[in-house]
A and B are shown apart, each in its own frame.
Chain A
Amino acid sequence: MTGEVRTIEIGALTRVEGEGAVKVFVREGRVEDVQLSIYEPPRFFESLLIGRPLEETPDIVARICGICPVAYQMTCVHALELILGIEISAEIRHLRRLLYCGEWIESHGVHMHLLHIPDFFGCSSSLELARKFPDEVKRGLRLKKIGNQLVEVLGGRAAHPVSVAVGGFYRSPQVNDLRKLAEAFRWGIDASIDVVKWIADFEFPEWHRPCEMVALQNTTEYPMNEGFIATTNNAQAAIRVADFEQVFREYQVDHSTALHSQRVPSNSAYLVGPLARINLNRPLLAPCALQLSEEVNVNWPCFNPFQSIIARALESLHAYETGLQLIQEYGGCSPSRFQYEPCAGEATWATEAPRGLLYQRIRTTADGKIEFAKIVPPTSQNQRQIELDLIHQLATRGLTDDPTTTLACERLVRSYDPCISCSTHFLKLEIHNQ
Chain B
Amino acid sequence: MNAYSVKKDWFEPPRYKPRLAVFKFASCDGCQLQLLSCEDELLELADKVEVVHFLEATSHIEPGPYDIALVEGSITTHHDQHRIYEVRAQSKVLIAIGACATAGGIQALRNWGDHTEFLRAVYAKPDVIDSLSTSTAIADHVDVDFELRGCPINRYQLLEVVISFLAGRRPRIPQHSVCMECKRQLMVCTAVAHGTPCLGPITHAGCGAICPRFGRGCYGCFGPAGQANCDSLADNYLATRSNTQTLVPLLRNFNAAADEFRETGDRVDEQSDSGVAK
Nearest chain B residue, comparing its CB with the CB of A142: B39
Q: Of A18, A124, A171, A251, which is within 8 A of B24 by CB? A: A18
Do B122 and A48 have beta carbons less than 8 Å apart? no
Contact with B along A101-143 (1 / 0, CB 8 A): 0000000001000110000000011111010001001100110
Point out the residue from B46, B106, B213, B276 that lies within 8 Å of A156, measured CB to CB. Answer: B213
Q: How far apart sit A50 and B213, CA to CA, in the bound complex (Å)?
A: 29
Partner of B211, one of A52, A126, A162, A425: A162
Q: Chain B 101-132 against A: per-residue CB contact (8 Å), 1 yes, 0 no?
A: 00001110110010001110111110011110
Of B1-9, B54-62, B84-92, which stretch is located at the interface? B54-62
How many chain A residues touch B (CB < 8 A): the figure is 76
Pick out which of these stretches binds chain A: B138-146, B159-167, B214-222.
B214-222
B37 to chain A, nearest CB (A): 6
Bound CA–CA A163/B215 (angstroms) = 9
The listed residue (B130, B151, B210) touching A39 by CB distance below 8 A is B130
Q: Does A240 contact B (CB under 8 A)?
A: no
Contact status B130-A422, CB under 8 Å:
no
Instruction: Establish whether residues A44 and B61, one from each chain, have CB atoms under 8 Å apart when the complex forms.
Output: no
Give B151-186 as 1s and 0s: 1 = Cβ < 8 Å from A's Cβ atoms: 110000000000000000000000000000000000
Mostly helix, strand, loop or mixed at chain B's interface? loop
B33 touches A67 (CB 8 A): yes
Q: How far is the CA of A200 from the CA of B57 in the complex (A)?
A: 23
Is A53 interfacial (CB-CB < 8 Å)?
yes
Docked pose: A422 CA to B249 CA in angstroms: 33
* A30 close to B (CB within 8 Å): no
Measured CA separation A285–B207 after assembly (Å): 36
Task: Judge whether A156 and B58 touch: CB under 8 Å.
Answer: no
B121 contacts A46, CB within 8 Å?
A: yes
Q: Which B residues are CB-close (under 8 A) to A67?
A: 29-30, 33
B60, closest chain A residue (CB): A124
How would residues 21 to 55 of chain B score, 1 for a CB under 8 Å from any chain A CB and 0 otherwise?
00011111111011011011011001000010001
Checking A60, A125, A138, A252 against B59 with a beta-carbon cut-off of 8 angstroms, the contacting residue is A125
Least CB distance, A425 to chain B, in whole angstroms: 4
Is B80 a contact partner of A162 (Cβ separation < 8 A)?
A: no
**Chain B, residue nearest A143 (CB):** B39
Instruction: Say which residue of B118, B125, B211, B276 sits within 8 Å of A3 (CB atoms).
Output: B125
Whether the pair B215, A41 counts as a contact (CB closer than 8 A) is no
Assess whether A6 is interfacial by the CB under 8 Å rule: yes
A10 to B126, CA, bound (A): 13
Query: What's the least CB distance linking B167 to chain A, in Å?
Result: 22
Cβ-defined contact, A47 with B117, below 8 A: yes
Q: Which residues of A contact B203 (CB under 8 A)?
A: none
A110 vs B42: C-alpha distance when bound (angstroms): 13
Task: Give residues of chain B (53-88) contacting chain A, Cβ–Cβ below 8 Å.
Answer: 55-61, 76-77, 79-80
Task: A51 to B253: give the CA distance in the assembly, Å.
Answer: 13
B261 contacts the other chain (CB 8 A): no
> Are the C-beta atoms of B39 and A141 separated by less than 8 Å?
yes
Complex Cα distance A385/B77, Å? 28
Quick check: A41 and B76 within 8 Å, CB to CB? yes
A169 to B216, CA, bound (A): 10
Instruction: Encode contact with B along A382-395: 1 for CB under 8 Å, 0 otherwise.
Output: 00000000000000
Max chain A C-beta neighbours (<10 A), residue from B24, B27, B28, B29: B28
Interface pair B110/A160, CB less than 8 Å apart: no
Chain B residues, CB < 8 A from A128: 58, 60
B232 within 8 A of A: no
The answer to the question of B262 belonging to the interface, with a C-beta cut-off of 8 Å to chain A, is no
A interface residues with partner B (beta carbon < 8 Å): 3, 6, 8-15, 17-18, 39-48, 50-53, 56, 59-60, 63-67, 69, 110, 114-115, 124-128, 130, 134, 137-138, 141-142, 144-145, 148, 155-160, 162-163, 165, 169-171, 251-252, 254, 257, 259, 410, 419, 421-423, 425-426
User: 21 interchain pairs (CB within 8 A)?
Assistant: A6-B124, A8-B122, A14-B122, A41-B131, A42-B76, A42-B119, A44-B121, A48-B113, A63-B254, A64-B28, A67-B33, A110-B33, A114-B57, A115-B57, A124-B58, A127-B46, A157-B210, A160-B221, A162-B216, A419-B29, A425-B61
The 10 closest A-B pairs by CB, nearest first: A66-B30, A125-B58, A156-B210, A422-B56, A124-B60, A145-B39, A66-B28, A43-B107, A141-B39, A422-B55
